[in-house]
Structure 1
Amino acid sequence: MIVSKIRQCVHIAAISNRHNNLTVVEKLGRTTIFSPEGKHFEYAMEAISHAGTVLGVLAKDGVVLAAEKKVTGKLLDLSGAKEGGYGGSGEKIFLLNSNVIGGVAGLTADANSLINYARSAAQQHLLAYNEDIPVELLAQRLCDMKQSYTQYGGLRPFGASLLYAGYDQQYQFQLYHSDPSGNYSGWKATCIGANNGTAQSLLKQEYKDDIEVKAAISLVLKTMSKTMDSTTLGSEKLEFAVITLDPETKLPKAKIYRPDEIDELLQAEGLGKKEEDDAMKS
């Protein structure tokens, strides 16, 4: 009798364990990462495709980044961005480290989380090795974290893509792009966000391997003027940054333009608000 009860208990326990295992499998099945068409990142990429354009061009002596800001309304208070603050409003282009700047397209909240992680990773590397983090290594660290969000059920990928523009001693100036899946790639010139196809076509036609920063700035602004919805560019719709080498210290120098500096740059390139102002006067 006792042996029979023990066997019965063991049998019930085995059934219970098997049921629990099936439950786990069923739960995992309900949170399958990829659909049969492999469209797990469809909505993440859709969010990026509707975001403001972010464009980067790699030159011999630096890297240029430009980003389109989406102005949500006329009542938005931009006085803080105009009066000060490093890099203006800080909506699309960020300083990740002293040798790396990043441009983001996609969901702003997701992008802020990624930016904070990248800054923390850069500072951890500096603390451990007493040197600035290599650009590709920073992209790898961020992509490892992004990829981990595609492994487990109940998590969604980050709805943001990044462009990394930076400099290190080994590979000099570099431009990388990473997407929500955790993939990253190096580019001479690339674009993410809205109208990226049009921008890519223009860059293919105009880009040259021996381009310098001055010509790269003109190319970036020219491309942005043709891909943005507005007929004229202005600091309220554009962020701009350049990373070069300081001629004296030979160290990377990141410059994120302030709104008034962007307007001066646009006027110098003949892409400012002159045409719009003349039309209003007439």
Structure 2
Amino acid sequence: MTGSIADARASVDRARGEAAEFKYKYGYEMPCDVLAKRLANINQVYTQRAYMRPLGVATTLISLDDEVGPSLYKCDPAGYYVGYKATASGPKQQEALNHLEKKLKNKDYAPGDWEEVVELAITTLSTVLSVDFKKNELEIGIVGGPISENSDETSPAFRTLTEEEIDERLQAIAEKD
């Protein structure tokens, strides 16, 4: 989420409610593209009603589906949603998108395993912000990576990387340079 904290909280609560209602009604988890479309429709209604203030938040949705595989969608306050290979949000969004576009040009997805994808994300942030990061300055979440730090088994669940794992990725980036 990028934008107003209060609007982000309201949007997350609404998304959770929509996903729970979908699961109750149909008996399976709501696909990411369906949730993105629903949130975009809700946001679009907020822009048309005179008595409702538009939500000032951009939402990025990430999922790992058994049928579709990994999915990444972004919804904006105007009610527009689109799927991406990689995306960014925030003040330097366009610079980050340009960097990612150069790196992923003519590719269907980011090549390599989860470690190389995380390194691409760190490199993009570092390039756009002109900052060399330390392990305690980053918080990284992954979906579909290893269950734990020293495990070869993968999990479809979301988890955050430990500072040691982030430090390993920073060291790998430093060795490439």
Matches within 5 A, 1:1-282: 104-207=1-104, 208-210=107-109, 211-212=111-112, 213-228=114-129, 230-235=131-136, 237-244=137-144, 252-257=156-161, 261=162, 263-270=163-170
- Residue 199 (structure 1) shift: 0.9
The CA deviation at 1:228 is 3.1
Percent identity between the two aligned chains: 27
For 2:170 and 2:50, the matched residues in 1 are separated by 52
**1:238 corresponds to which letter in structure 2?**
L
Contact in 1 for aligned 2:135/2:164 (Cα 8 Å): no
What is the rounded CA distance, in whole Å, between the counterparts of 1:202 and 1:142 in structure 2?
Answer: 28
Q: Secondary structure at the match of 2:139?
A: strand
1:158 to 1:254, Cα distance in 2 relative to 1, 3 A? same
Kindly report the root-mean-square deviation, in angstroms, between the aligned alpha carbons of the 2 structures.
2.6
Flag the structure with larger Rg: 1
Shift of 1:162: 1.0
Structure 1-normalised TM-score?
Answer: 0.52
The 1:149–1:266 alpha-carbon spacing in structure 2 relative to 1, beyond 3 Å, is same
1:132-165 CA-to-partner distances (Å, cap 9, x unmatched) read: 1111011112112111101111322111101111
CA displacement at 1:270 relative to structure 2: 2.6
- Secondary structure of the corresponding residue to residue 269 of structure 1: helix
- Matched with 1:49 is none
TM-score by length of 2: 0.81
- Higher strand content, 1 or 2: 1
Q: How many residues end up aligned between the 2 structures?
A: 164
Higher-RCO chain (CA-CA 8 Å, sequence separation at least 6) = 1
Please tell me the residue identity of whatever aligns with 2:95: T
| TM superposition shift of 1:118 | 0.6
